[in-house]
Amino acid sequence: MTLATESVLLTSFPKKEQEQIQYLIRQLLALKDSGPNRRPKATDVIKILYPLHVDSHCILATLLSDSRFEEKYNADQITARYGKVVTHLVQDIHWLNHLAVYSPTTHSRPHQAETLRRMVLAMTQDIRSIMIKFAYRIQRLRNLSHEDKKVQYIIAHETLEIYAPLANRLGINQFKWELEDLAFRHLESKHYHAIADSLANNRNQRETIIQTNIQALTKLLAQENITATLYGRPKHIYSIWNKMQKKHLEFEELYDLLAIRIIVANTTDCYTVLGLAHSHWQYVPKEFDDYIANPKENGYQSLHSVILDHTGNRIELQIRTQDMHEQAELGVAAHWHYKEGKAINKTTKNNISALRKLIDDHDSQTDLLENFKSKLFSDRIFVRTPAGDIIDLIKGATPLDFAYTIHTDIGHRCRGAKINGLIKPLTQPLQSGDKVEIITVKQAIPNYNWTQLHLGFLKTPRALRKVRSWFKQQSQPLNTKKKPSQKTPTPTPITPSVLTDQHPSEKFDLTPLLPPSQRHNYKSDVIVSELDNVLTSLAHCCSPAKGDPIIGFISVKKGITVHRQGCRNISALTLEQQSRLLEVNWSHTNTKPYAVPIIITASSNDHLLNNIMQFFLTQKVHISNVTLHTASDSTATLLLSVHITDTQQLESLLEKTLQLTGIISATRQK
């Protein structure tokens, strides 16, 4: 990189900042690299960043993050010369560049990979530092072939598991594609080059076909006075490989290597363009999807169709409005969630959407940046085990909470802890990034003081419950009948966090709960301690359905009764009854429908019941137990049970019900 080139690139910055940047570049160009010639150079990294129109703080922080500057400038010097914002960015980048918690086994543990992604977001003070990290990683991947094969494997896998998904969630597509393609090149070199060669062999032909059809479409739309933006949608090597694997296709069988995206002013124009395309070209009916009338569950909207041009080429069309396009790109429609196909909690989704907007919405950067610093994962911390695994805990958690999160037995046997190599009290609040080692004894005997909240040993409800449960079992075994004179303990509310970490195999023998005559053939809707043939029944009080967080209760005659975690009956259990709770999970193979009661409130009219019944018929949803109540204020309440396969179908059904004329509310009965 030359100073002449930089003087052209940086003209958008104030003169003082241009001079600061050019000064740092001159210093870096004059420095010799004392280490192996494999570390990314900051002068190369800023060339990757600049097309994103980053600000001067990003450029300065990128240059100051060069490894050759680490001993030259400390935090105080950077603050004095360039300000606190740049200092925080540099600190974040140094932390990210030295982060070494990914292991070769992480890719086989999706939950651990997701925790790592959350940790990266939670530990950074400024979202721009993650963008800079992406650029550093791209530069390293470009030169990765010079490094050891083992290092190549780790860096490439870490990129695909941690950084490419984060780039996708943040909407930085140009980074996402390059991170994926470069990592794929090092992991699957043979397949990468085979696809690359196939693309190169007919690249000119594909571009000609795309441009020819864009011109034809543009002319067609102009005749109808429709203003639109049309461009070819590029396909990248890693995405091509993924599609080949998922659909078991050869390269020549892929139809969407030719794709055109059409962005128009409004929804009406979307359907007009689709009609024009279908009347002008033959289309493939089975490849048509109307995600405008029927949005994906994540909110994604667009019209998808495949046409055959006049020479027989299959071309995929994506037609959407500018708002739909921005939603898909900015994350309002959570398009990244659909692409990854993995469950992400709602808080993380909302934070990611805000971060994606931050990158593109320069007018509100200050407010959003403050929101990022103060609210993103503000209730969580991420600490490390001696083996390098990341544990997600609530803010304020102690080493004792950490021990019980690892395993109940480790918590019971805990007598001390080392934090970052130093012995600390068990009441010491942990911080994100801490490395925690638990000191244990052989005998599993908790300390009664741990149950006293004011002493500060435990912060997490589920750890506290484990300790209290241990002491309760010592004073009153499970098979001891309660004396008539004993007072019933005051009911203790049960929260979802308390109910999600049970270890039933430590307490209960589940064999008697297997149906005697059907133990080999019986399959339950839920799994108990990894067994799928335990006798279970769904509680009528809360009507759980697949997708609900659930908890099991060992009943006297009905085996295990399955409740929703928020069920009022579960929350009202006595301490003695709570000892009969255990963890259960939905079976992955079961797809049978569940009856769930819902309440619909609407404006009363003669055709209300018939209209709703017809609507559910079109949705192919069976209904039962219908009751209609009409109020004096001209509203009607309809109580009915719908038979659905999981909670996602239920949410979609309720959302569509709300769109019907006259409907005021449609909710699940609590």
Cα 460 from chain centroid (whole Å): 23
Which residue pairs, CB below 8 angstroms and at least 24 apart, start in 6-11? 9/50, 10/56, 10/59
Residues 158 and 215 placed together within one structural domain of the fold? no
Strands (E), 98-173: none
Report if residue 342 sits inside a domain.
no
pLDDT of 172-209, one tens digit each? 777 888 999 999 999 999 998 888 888 777 777 888 88
Residues 456 and 552 placed together within one structural domain of the fold? no
Residue in 162, 166, 135 with CA at minimum distance from that of residue 54: 135
Cα–Cα dist 59/81, whole Å: 14
Residues 154 and 261 placed together within one structural domain of the fold? no
Cα–Cα dist 460/499, whole Å: 12
Please, are residues 6 and 55 in contact by the beta-carbon 8 Å criterion?
A: no
Residues 55 and 120 placed together within one structural domain of the fold? yes
Report if residue 374 sits inside a domain.
no
Q: pLDDT at position 184, please?
A: 93
Question: DSSP class of residue 531?
Answer: B
Q: pLDDT at position 386, please?
A: 86
Cα–Cα dist 475/468, whole Å: 11
Residue in 605, 596, 600, 595 with CA at minimum distance from that of residue 639: 600
**Which residues are bridge partners to 553 per DSSP?**
561, 581
Domain assignment of residue 52, given as a range: 3-187
Residues 138 and 262 placed together within one structural domain of the fold? no
Report if residue 480 sits inside a domain.
no
Cα–Cα dist 622/640, whole Å: 10
Residues 28 and 166 placed together within one structural domain of the fold? yes
Q: pLDDT at position 270, please?
A: 95
Residues 117 and 64 placed together within one structural domain of the fold? yes
Looking at 540, 562, 586, the residue that finishes a domain is 586
Which residue pairs, CB below 8 angstroms and at least 24 apart, start in 246-251? 251/194, 251/195, 251/198
CATH number of the domain at 602, please: 3.30.70.260
Q: pLDDT at position 329, please?
A: 56
Q: pLDDT at position 401, please?
A: 94
Residues 569 and 427 placed together within one structural domain of the fold? no
> What does the block give as tokens for 14?
């104030």
Residues 181 and 208 placed together within one structural domain of the fold? no
Please, are residues 46 and 22 in contact by the beta-carbon 8 Å criterion?
A: no
Report if residue 347 sits inside a domain.
no
308: how many CB neighbours lie within 10 A of its CB? 14
Looking at 122, 155, 187, the residue that finishes a domain is 187
Q: pLDDT at position 496, please?
A: 38
Looking at 586, 607, 640, the residue that finishes a domain is 586
Domain total in the chain: 5
Question: What are the phi and psi torsion angles at 592 (to 5°)?
Answer: -70, 155
Contacts of 445 (CB under 8 A, 6+ apart): 412, 413
Question: DSSP class of residue 439?
Answer: E
Cα–Cα dist 468/404, whole Å: 13
H-run or E-run covering 409: helix 408-413
Please, are residues 426 and 451 in contact by the beta-carbon 8 Å criterion?
A: no
Report if residue 265 sits inside a domain.
yes
pLDDT of 406-440, one tens digit each? 999 999 999 888 998 888 889 999 988 888 999 88
Report if residue 373 sits inside a domain.
no
Residues 207 and 179 placed together within one structural domain of the fold? no
Residue in 185, 187, 201, 190 with CA at minimum distance from that of residue 237: 185
Cα–Cα dist 340/670, whole Å: 32
Residues 535 and 654 placed together within one structural domain of the fold? no
Residue in 23, 19, 69, 20 with CA at minimum distance from that of residue 42: 69
Q: pLDDT at position 624, please?
A: 80
Report if residue 337 sits inside a domain.
no
Report if residue 349 sits inside a domain.
no
Residues 65 and 136 placed together within one structural domain of the fold? yes
Which residue bears the tokens 């046997």?
413
Q: What is the mean pLDDT of each run of 10 residues along the chain (670 residues)?
A: 49 82 87 62 86 83 88 89 91 81 65 74 76 91 89 89 82 82 92 85 80 92 93 81 82 74 94 93 90 74 90 89 72 38 54 53 47 53 82 89 93 89 89 88 85 87 89 60 42 41 43 50 70 78 87 77 86 78 79 85 80 85 84 82 88 85 82
CATH number of the domain at 203, please: 3.30.460.10
CATH number of the domain at 29, please: 1.10.3210.10
Could you tell me whether strands 380-384 and 303-308 are parallel, antiparallel, or unpaired per DSSP bridges? unpaired
